């Protein structure tokens, strides 16, 4: 049963803690929940969900990176 991620801070804390303690099953679950939450979403939504505000690139560089990655996804 898929669950929607609503508390990304807690999910992140769980992921970091589980990884540090070597709890592989919980780390894997957190990683999968994060992947499911961002899959198919536009870049802007992913950034908002994950709290990403500045990636150190110009808007043009971000657009180029997004276009390059979109092209790779279509090749699969």
The residue ranges of every structural domain in the chain are 1-39, 41-76
Greater confidence, 70 or 31?
A: 31
What mean pLDDT do residues 8-29 have? 94
- The Cα–Cα gap between 33 and 57 comes to 27
Residue 72 pLDDT: 65
What mean pLDDT do residues 57-61 have? 87
- Cα separations in angstroms, 3 against 11, 18, 43: 12, 19, 21
- The Cα–Cα gap between 55 and 44 comes to 12
Q: What is the pTM of this model?
A: 0.66
């Amino acid at each position: 049963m898929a669950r929607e991620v609503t508390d990304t801070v807690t999910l992140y804390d769980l992921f970091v803690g589980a990884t540090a303690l070597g709890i592989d099953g919980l780390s894997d679950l957190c990683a999968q929940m994060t992947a499911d939450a961002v899959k198919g979403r536009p870049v802007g939504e992913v950034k908002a969900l994950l709290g990403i505000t500045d990636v150190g690139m110009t808007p043009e560089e971000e657009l180029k990176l997004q276009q390059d990655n979109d092209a790779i996804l279509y090749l699969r």
